Copies of this chain bind each other. A is one copy, B any other.
């Protein structure tokens, strides 16, 4: 079921992966722009109207009340809540290491300078509704913001047909500790967070996944507010040696494929026999799974197999692909890790399946997709802070350095910059 590709032709692989990048749909763009405009002009009124139109429900209030949230939580599975709490503890322990400090430098003649690290004041988290209402998404987006020190974390999510929030989402929001929940979804929710309405406050940054309209709206409001990323199609790349279990490799390729027909599952191995065993296992396991149709479509479109010379070649190819998820199902995974230069998250050894990281292990599951791990990073506390620099020059230091500063300024033809130094030196 995986398509064989030549490991010595990585250009073909890259072109194949890039082929997944769709051009933005002009119809979606036009409709999204109209929604943004309406929310900007009409505020809450537009939100109620779009919610009626798209979610088929007439709300009395956009904000979910405490009672409503508690009632939804009460309907959530108790074992799920307990497991989410344990997952949250693991995610918290991992992300707490990401608290950044500013610094302060003192120099001669009374010069000092430094950098402060400040949390964003208010962040919006988009949580999709319907079948894509994932409690793990809530934890992965909210907890890093909270740990970074963001005071207000606003969740938006489309209401169900009864005008309420799905129990799993309410439970995850409670575990993660959001400040407020608004029952609005789609591009209209992104507009509300970007511009603010009478009910929903404007935020500094919007994070979280969504459908094509949500993604398009995030792109359009970027600059006015910050956004996390516009996630592309996702991928897993599994490197397996002779001792790997073909059942496990197949299961992990499938766990990626079941997300989306555009998801890409790549197997790199040094063992021809192993490759064949995985192909067999893919058939057996996907036949048993509820999302069989998506899995088969995804594997048929984007499942890829390369039988490589050696592990060095496997890792070189992984670095070129820069996968979102990289599994090293090899004996010496730890020793090989430093060779990995481009990967969102790396899963080490035979027993570490990607789904541990998706839910429970502690690392973030919001990862750079489609080759952007070359330059982008997993979601982290760093996404919820900003830096601000400061500088103090004493009169003595300005006397010492003034001529040099004016010299550079004049070479750039910016005499006004030199003049700002000069009026101070003349003043003395």
List residues of A whose CB falls within 8 A of some B CB.
21, 77, 79-80, 83-84, 86-87, 93-94, 97-98, 100, 103, 105, 107, 111, 113, 115-116, 118, 120-121, 131, 134-136, 168, 204-205, 223, 225-226, 230, 232, 245, 247-248, 251-252, 254-255, 257-259, 285, 288-291, 295, 333-334, 337, 340-364, 368, 372-378, 380, 382, 386-395, 397-398, 401, 404-405, 407-409, 411-424, 427
Q: A86-B404, A334-B392, A359-B405 are in contact. List 8 more A-B contacts (CB 8 A).
A: A93-B107, A258-B416, A349-B393, A355-B418, A363-B389, A363-B390, A364-B389, A368-B386
**Copies of this protein chain in the complex:** 2
Please indicate the chain B residues that have their CB under 8 angstroms from the CB of A232 in the complex. Answer: 223
Q: Tell me the smallest distance from the CB of A21 to a CB of chain B, in Å.
A: 8
Question: Closest residue to A356 on the B side, CB-wise?
Answer: B393
- Give the complex CA separation of A61 and B378 in angstroms: 40
Q: Which residues of B contact A407 (CB under 8 A)?
A: 79-80, 83
Are A424 and B135 neighbours in the complex by a CB distance under 8 Å? no
What 4 A-B pairs are tightest by C-beta distance, nearest first?
A258-B416, A377-B387, A355-B417, A226-B375
CB contact between A392 and one of B289, B352, B358, B418 (< 8 Å): that residue: B352
A245 to B21, CA, bound (A): 57
Question: Out of B204, B257, B415, B424, which one reaches A291, CB within 8 Å?
Answer: B415
Q: Are B417 and A255 closer than 8 Å at their CB atoms?
A: yes
Contacts A113-B361, A223-B372, A360-B405 given: A420-B388 contact, CB under 8 Å? no
Instruction: Please measure, in the bound complex, the distance between the C-alpha atom of A398 and the C-alpha atom of B394, giving whole angstroms.
Output: 60
Query: How far is A86 from B401 in the complex, measured between Cα atoms in Å?
Result: 10
A414 touching B258 in the complex, CB below 8 Å, given contacts A353-B420, A398-B351, A420-B248: yes
The answer on a CB contact under 8 Å between B408 and A87 is yes
B408 touches A136 (CB 8 A): yes
**A79-B407, A346-B389, A423-B245 known; A356+B414 contact, CB < 8 A:** no
Rounded to whole angstroms, the CA-CA distance of A290 and B416 in the bound complex is 8
Which residues from chain B contact A386 at a C-beta distance below 8 Å?
368, 373-377
For the complex, give the distance between the alpha carbons of A405 and B84 in Å.
Answer: 9
- Decide: B420 and A391 in contact? CB cutoff 8 A: no
Bound-complex Cα distance A171 to B386 (A): 33
Q: Which residues of B contact A415 (CB under 8 A)?
A: 258, 289-291
Chain B hits for A351, CB < 8 A? 393-395, 397-398, 424
- Per the bound structure, the CA–CA distance linking A401 and B355 in Å amounts to 12
Shortest distance in angstroms between A266's beta carbon and chain B's nearest beta carbon?
16
Closest to A116 in B: B337
Inter-chain contact A340/B226, CB cutoff 8 Å = no
A263 to B348, CA, bound (A): 51
B362, A113: Cβ atoms under 8 Å? Answer: yes
Which partner residue on chain B sits nearest A111 by CB separation?
Answer: B361
With both chains docked as a complex, state the minimum distance between the C-beta of A276 and any C-beta of chain B, in angstroms.
Answer: 18
Taking a contact as CB atoms under 8 Å apart, the answer to whether B392 and A333 are in contact is: yes
Query: Can you report 8 residue pairs joining A to B where beta carbons are below 8 Å apart?
Result: A120-B374, A121-B341, A121-B374, A254-B419, A285-B423, A347-B392, A356-B393, A374-B386
A355's nearest neighbour on chain B, judged by CB, is B417
The complex places the Cα of A264 from the Cα of B115 at a distance, in Å, of: 24
CA distance A357 to B397 in the complex (A): 13
The distance in angstroms between the C-alpha atoms of A131 and B405, with both chains bound, is 19
* B residues less than 8 Å from A375 (CB atoms): 120, 204-205, 225-226, 386
> Cα distance A251–B418 when bound, in Å?
9
Chain B min CB distance to A414 (Å): 6
Q: Which of B98, B360, B376 meets A404, CB within 8 Å?
A: B360
A280 to chain B, nearest CB (A): 14
Most buried by B among A107, A350, A382, A412: A412
